[in-house]
Amino acid sequence: MKAVVIGAGEVGYHIAKFLSLTHDVIVVEKNEEVARRADELDVQVLAGNGANADILASILHDVDILVAVTGVDEVNIVACMTAKLIIRSHPGWRETKTIARVSNPDYIDVPVTSRAQVGVDVMICPELALASEVAEVLSTPSAIDTEVFAGGKVQMMEFAIRSDNRLVGQQIRDLKLDDCCIVSAIFRKHEIVIPHGDDVIRANDHVVVVGKPRALEELGRIFGNRGPHRNRILLIGCGIVGFYLAKLIDKDENADLKIIEYRKSRCIEVAEMLENALILNGDGTDVNLLREENIEDMDVVLAVTDNDEKNLLCSLLAKQMGARKVIARADRSDYVPLFEMIGIDMAVSPREATVNEVLKLTMGRGIEKLATLEGEKAEIIEYTASRSSKIIGKSLDRVKFPKGALVTMVVHNDDTIIPRGDTVIREGDRVIVFALSSAVSAVEKFFK
């Protein structure tokens, strides 16, 4: 398989690095310094504008996927449009799937969509995807991550276990989970545990649970939720990500939202578009301002400025001053584990939505949804079993599933099933699999 990545910034570099492990990759980048960084990877680097028709015509004849992820929406869209036009003018050339990263709300109003009419097979708004992800987490105060699978029939939640949690020291079999919930993984420091009944929960573990959404709603009381109350939220930074997020929170009747934004003109602009939020003109690192706004009473503090270092400082201040949960935006991939290592509850990156969509297109048939966890050390993947899938027609105890992978949930017609050894996968079933990244390629073979 051959891929073209246009733009070698943080998102493009990360995509090229991943794809280069198993595919031939060409990176197109006009910035010399950024291109030199990409040249360290096992990829071919071309200097130039990725929307240039001559450059695209010279490389597209056998390309399977083109990913345009520069920082300029119009360049990404034009690159995809031009690629499609070039391919259509050469009937013998391979059909190329195109993906464009787009941030401007004038072009996109949902996290992921298709604009096939203008040559973009998949259009992704990383900022809106991030905002939607965080908004989902806010609905369950003790959760630090959440994803929905199988058209809403299955949900994944990740919970952080604090040192004062009553679950510390308990075995998995003693959790008294609903029959339609299963613990898929435990993230413990640098270790990923696929748990058994006798595994013990420890302080600072992150526990991943998969189950029916209605059942997971009740898990908050087990994992440390407080009783019902209005959610007090402080949002620091109201750029593109902050505004998308503020709009989602502003619609929540059970949330009180305060926003701290440094630019006065932006405060005025945002105030005109949000009905219920309180907008404060100030600096999120101003200790006196944070104290005046009673940061110690906040249920959640969200640091989502365009500067990773500022988000880190704001988050550390919020945590030290008593905020219950702190979520920080980290655009640089190597910052995500650092943020969480120093006590920030959740670090989120806009690039993950783009990366996940690219992975779906490159991993083959049958994949409906993919979510990466723990800095891409593990994945939860939704497959649809087809007639040719090797896994169908056999009970799971007869399937030699790879070590490091677990079938966590099966959706058969409208029934959501926690699989047992005698469970048989049938054609058309949706199968939710938790897998370490090292096991993903082996899992794929069962669904081809």
* pLDDT for the residue 304: 95
What is the model's pLDDT at position 279?
A: 96
Q: How far is CA 282 from the centre of its chain?
A: 30
pLDDT recorded at residue 363: 66
pLDDT value of residue 75:
96
What is the pLDDT at residue 188?
86
pLDDT reported for residue 321: 94
Q: What is the pLDDT along the chain (448 residues), one digit of tens a residue?
A: 799 999 999 889 989 988 888 789 999 999 999 999 999 999 999 999 999 999 999 999 999 999 999 999 999 999 999 999 999 999 888 899 999 999 888 888 888 888 988 899 999 998 888 888 888 888 776 788 888 888 888 988 888 887 888 888 989 888 877 777 888 899 987 788 888 888 999 988 889 999 888 777 777 667 765 555 678 999 999 998 999 999 999 888 888 999 999 999 999 999 999 988 999 999 999 999 999 999 999 999 999 999 999 999 999 999 999 998 899 999 887 788 788 788 888 888 887 777 777 877 776 556 777 777 776 678 898 999 988 888 999 889 988 888 888 899 999 988 888 888 899 999 999 999 999 888 888 888 888 7
**Side-chain half-sphere CA neighbours of 153 within 13 A:** 17
For residues 107 and 45, is the Cβ–Cβ distance under 8 A? no
Interval 280-297: pLDDT, tens = 999 999 999 999 999 999
Contact yes or no for 25/16 (Cβ under 8 A): yes
Rounded Cα distance between 100 and 69, Å, is 6
Element housing 127 (H / E)? helix 126-138
Strand 24-29 to strand 44-47: parallel, antiparallel, or no bridges (unpaired)? parallel
Strand, helix or coil for residue 181: strand
**What's residue 224's pLDDT?**
61
pLDDT of residue 349: 84
Q: What is the pTM of this model?
A: 0.77
**CA-to-CA distance for 304 and 135, rounded, in angstroms?**
13
